[in-house]
Amino acid sequence: MDTTLRGVGVSHGVAIGEVRHMGTAVLEPPAKQIPAEDAEREQGNARKAVEAVAADLMARGNLAGGEAQAVLEAQAMMAQDPELMADVDRRIAVGSTAERAVYDAFAAYRELLAGAGEYLAGRVADLDDVRNRIVARLLGVPMPGIPDSDEPYVLVARDLAPADTALLDPTLVLGFVTEEGGPTSHSAILARALGVPAVVALPGAGELAEGTVVAVDGSTGEIFVNPSDEKKAELEAAAAQRKAALAASTGPGVTADGHKVPLLANVGGPADVPAALEAGAEGVGLFRTEFLFLDDSKNAPSEEKQVEAYRQVLEAFPEGRVVVRVLDAGADKPLDFLTPADEPNPALGVRGLRTLLDHPEVLRTQLTALAKAAEGLPVYLDVMAPMVADRADAKAFADACRAAGLRAKFGAMVEIPSAALRARSILQEVEFLSLGTNDLAQYTFAADRQVGAVSRLQDPWQPALLDLVALSAEAAKAEGKSCGVCGEAASDPLLACVLTGLGVTSLSMGAASIPYVRATLAKYTLAQCERAAAAARTGDSADEARAAAQAVLSGE
């Protein structure tokens, strides 16, 4: 039988293969009592297991590099949290086995996290993963995670922990499908970084039987279950065609009639630079510097360490443009030493620029490090602030940049609807705008970007989001300034044409998406992009907007 399911396509390409499920079984150790004289030995076992799991996560991070490394290192720190360890020790002292104590201590911590609000949805999955790894080690059973298989397969999971996505072997894992996660969740971002076709937010994915053949289309979000030979041939032909077009696409981003749209890469640090260069990125449109800060949740990295990391990225793009975003801490990226622990609603609390304005010394060190890193280099350095709400925010940031003696353009990210609505006022203080469509969608639709159940509202094709993009781009044009997009919206080739038509001046995305966007953009003129953009904005839903743009561009 040939059934079609539909999720959200988050990483391009077609994968055809058998389903293998992720080992997600929660290992619940029996609650048996141990004699008091065994407690010390059990405490030692627990500590050893925690250390081994943390070391394994760090090693996986080293292998993976880039943004994945920072996420895995954060998980390793979670495993070694002193309070959690103290709780494990206490539980063993009153008769628990090491594995049961770990299980219960993590459960208590999990409850605390889950009850503390929205940003923790993603962290709870990470925490469960750490717990499963420690318990598996203590019980001497195989680690949960990616199945052992010598044959290539399509990985199906409820959600993927960063530890797993980071080590997906693209020669064995043809593609992946998850029940949870939205298009802007960090699993999706990592999938794109790996270049593995992926579909997320597919309800019922867990019910696909092991060994079933599926065809995953990471561009459309469709999953064909038991596809017919014709369907397979059709999908493979389309994929081959796309691959050939990609191979032929090189050089800067430009429409068919020569309108330039620089294609830039999103990076998390020096480790992401080679892929960006290989994809032909014309520069960096978003350097997420917070990944440098995740190594140590207690302290900011030293100025020297920052200079070194910034310089490595800046040197890779001589005469190119590199847009560095200052630290975006808080909400889904909390840092112990900066983020208030007791916010009822962290995504609406002190995060992004707000955090930096509360800790001017952290911002000062970062800006000074950037100024030093850029010294003597021919690179065009741009520096931007996350989560700018209004002109006062933009001014405070520009003042801090000037005070640090930074010779760069200063910009503001548009991630809050107020910034799009009042873009001209913000542009009185800064020289460029960069649309963070991930957060802009989250705040426009009041839809947490980590929650699969609301991914419909996270769809960057939502006409309301397109309206805010248009407002920002029009304001920038009126002020003679630039307005790029660095959220995940830029990585959708068709949407990239629409964004261009809305007046966006550059597109920044994970390196793996650049060739797709470049090839698609080159097929259409600016006038066609503008018509597609106008058509998309007449839609009442993301699907209608997408269909309307598609109809214009395919000449229907």
Distance CA 69, CA 61 (A): 4
Question: Which residue of 43, 132, 255, 437 would you call a contact of ligand PEP, by CB under 6 A?
Answer: 437
Burial of 210 (0-12, 13-18, 19+ CB in 10 A): exposed
Contact pick of 144, 145, 221, 436 for ligand PEP (by CB under 6 A): 436
User: Is beta strand 482-485 parallel, antiparallel or unpaired with respect to 432-435?
Assistant: parallel
Q: Which of Mg ion, ligand PEP, none lies near 487, with the C-beta cut-off 5 to 8 A by kind?
A: ligand PEP
Contact between residue 133 and residue 99 where contact means Cβ atoms under 8 Å apart: no
Q: How far is the CB of 437 from ligand PEP (least distance, A)?
A: 5
Binding flags for ligand PEP, 257-296, as an x/- string (CB under 6 A): -----------------------------x-x--------
Binding-site member from 183, 218, 436, 460 for Mg ion (CB under 5 A): 436
Structure tokens, 202: 């597919």
Q: Output 144 or 493, the one with its CB closest to ligand PEP.
A: 493
Shortest distance, CB of residue 479 to ligand PEP, whole angstroms? 22
**H or E segment and range at residue 6:** strand 3-6
Structure tokens at 453: 């159940």
Q: For ligand PEP, what does the binding mask look like between residues 387 and 416, x meaning CB under 6 A?
A: ----------------------------x-
From 134-142, 201-209, 342-350, 433-441, span contacting ligand PEP (CB under 6 A): 433-441
Which member of 487, 501, 510, 539 binds ligand PEP (CB under 6 A)? 487
Q: Which does 286 bind (CB under 5 to 8 A by kind): ligand PEP, Mg ion, none?
A: ligand PEP
Give the total of residues touching ligand PEP (CB under 6 A): 10
Query: Least Å distance between CB 339 and ligand PEP?
Result: 14
Gap between the Cα atoms of 464 and 227, Å rounded: 36
Is there binding between residue 122 and ligand PEP (CB under 6 A)? no
Check if the beta carbon of residue 547 is closer than 8 Å to that of residue 488. no
Among candidates 320, 166, 267, 272, which has minimal Cα distance to 508? Answer: 267
Smallest separation (angstroms) from ligand PEP to the CB of 168 = 21
Q: 186, 483, 497, 529: which one is catalytic?
A: 186
Encoded tokens for 524: 């259409």
- In whole angstroms, the minimum distance from the beta carbon of 431 to ligand PEP comes to 19
What is the Cα–Cα distance from 322 to 287, expressed in whole angstroms? 8
Six token digits for residue 98: 């090491």
- Nearer to ligand PEP by Cβ, of 436 and 503: the residue is 436
Question: Given 21, 359, 401, 486, which residue is catalytic?
Answer: 486
The distance of closest approach from Cβ of residue 393 to Mg ion in the complex, given in angstroms and rounded to an integer, is 14
Report the b/e string of 167-178 with b at 16+ CB within 10 A.
Answer: bbeeebbbbbbb
Helix axes 360-374, 391-403, angle to 10 degrees: 50
The residue range among 38-46, 248-256, 438-446, 513-521 that interacts with Mg ion, by the rule CB under 5 A, is: 438-446
The residue written with tokens 């002190």 in the block is 350
How many residues bind Mg ion (CB under 5 A)? The answer is 3
Question: Known catalytic residue: 486?
Answer: yes
Q: How far is the CB of 469 from ligand PEP (least distance, A)?
A: 12
Beta carbon nearer to ligand PEP, 126 or 222: 126
Q: Does 66 bind ligand PEP (CB under 6 A)?
A: no
Residue with tokens 């290989």: 278
Identify the CA nearest to 16 among candidates 288, 240, 223, 195: 223
**Measured between alpha carbons, how far is 455 from 481 in angstroms, rounded to an integer?**
32
The binder of 87, among Mg ion, ligand PEP, none, by C-beta within 5 to 8 A per type, is none
AA identity, residue 425: S
437 binds, among ligand PEP, Mg ion, none (CB under 5 to 8 A by kind): ligand PEP
Asked whether position 439 contacts Mg ion by CB under 5 A, the answer is yes
Task: Report which residue type is found at 445.
Answer: F
Site string for Mg ion, 396-435 (x = CB under 5 A): -------------------x--------------------
CA distance 303 to 545: 46
Tell me the three state secondary structure of residue 423. helix
CB 8 within 8 A of CB 132: no
Between CA 165 and CA 119, with CA 298 as vertex, the angle to 5 degrees is: 50
543 membership: H or E segment, kind and range: helix 542-553
State which residue, 508 or 520, has the beta carbon closest to ligand PEP.
508
Task: Check: CB of residue 180 under 8 Å from CB of residue 201.
Answer: yes
Figure out which of the listed residues 433, 486, 507, 548 binds ligand PEP, where binding follows CB under 6 A: 486
List interacting residues with ligand PEP (CB under 6 A): 286, 288, 328, 415, 436-439, 486-487
Catalytic positions, please?
A: 186, 486
Residue ranges that bind Mg ion, judged by CB under 5 A: 415, 436, 439
